[in-house]
Amino acid sequence: MGTRRRAPFRSSLALGCALAALGALPRPACAQDQAGLNTHVPSNDLLDLCVNLGVTWIRIDANWFEMNPARGRYEWTEIDRVVDGARSRGLRVFMTLAYTPAWVARVARTRTDTATLNDEPAASAEWSAFVTEAVRRYRPRGVTHYGMWNEPNLDQFWESAAGVDPYVDKILVPGATAVRAVCTDCTVLAPDLAHLGSYDTFLSRVLTRAASSIDILAHHIYQGWPETGSTG
């Protein structure tokens, strides 16, 4: 999940500031716009390449199903390597948290495919616990920016018959609450939509219902991909 292609991104800090100034977001998180690279779970060689390219931020995948494979059990080794390696190289980390583990109870599926990591959890307690533990571990390692899921407007990353509202109620709001309860200087990024299909309808609903849960608006624009049509 979450593997489309590595792509350069511009830090969303400037966009977040602009939206805050317009009243779309409640509190500014302003900083100089900086270049970054979407690296997923980068090798040490790729971290070195990021330094050579002159980027200052990397976006990484911190997958719930891999880091919390069983209730009460956490596997931090690989993400520790990435975060510590980034910090030692002077890179800042935007950590996206996402994807449902097999042990978490989930809403009945609406499709017949075999993918399950995109399933809507039945409740938010397990997600909140994971976010809490992730922030507790990685804030002391210098990570202050946390994304709440990846591209929930696409079925392949978020399967829910009700779409937007379960994402807001079970992921965004409780996730942001968990981040802020642990870390007063951390930043919540969302909803990390793909610039495809009816993303504007999804985004409007998120902002109407939960703008106060977002510090920086994150959005994915893909060169050469159609901007209209159904999600999937």
For 141-151, the pLDDT digits (tens) are 999 999 999 99
Q: How confident is the model at residue 115 (pLDDT cuts 50, 70, 90)?
A: confident
CA distances from 52 to 106, 182, 225 (A): 43, 34, 29
The reported pLDDT for the residue numbered 131 is 98
Question: Mutual orientation of helices 173-182 and 125-138 as an angle, nearest 10°?
Answer: 40
pLDDT at 24 over 80: no
Q: Kindly report the pTM of this predicted structure.
A: 0.84
Gap between the Cα atoms of 184 and 108, Å rounded = 36
The reported pLDDT for the residue numbered 17 is 39
15 — phi, psi (to 5°)? -65, -40
Gap between the Cα atoms of 105 and 122, Å rounded = 5
Express each pLDDT in 32-44 by its tens digit.
567 889 999 999 9
Tell me the three state secondary structure of residue 14: helix
Q: Is residue 218 a contact partner of residue 142, using CB atoms and an 8 Å limit?
A: no
105 — phi, psi (to 5°)? -60, 145
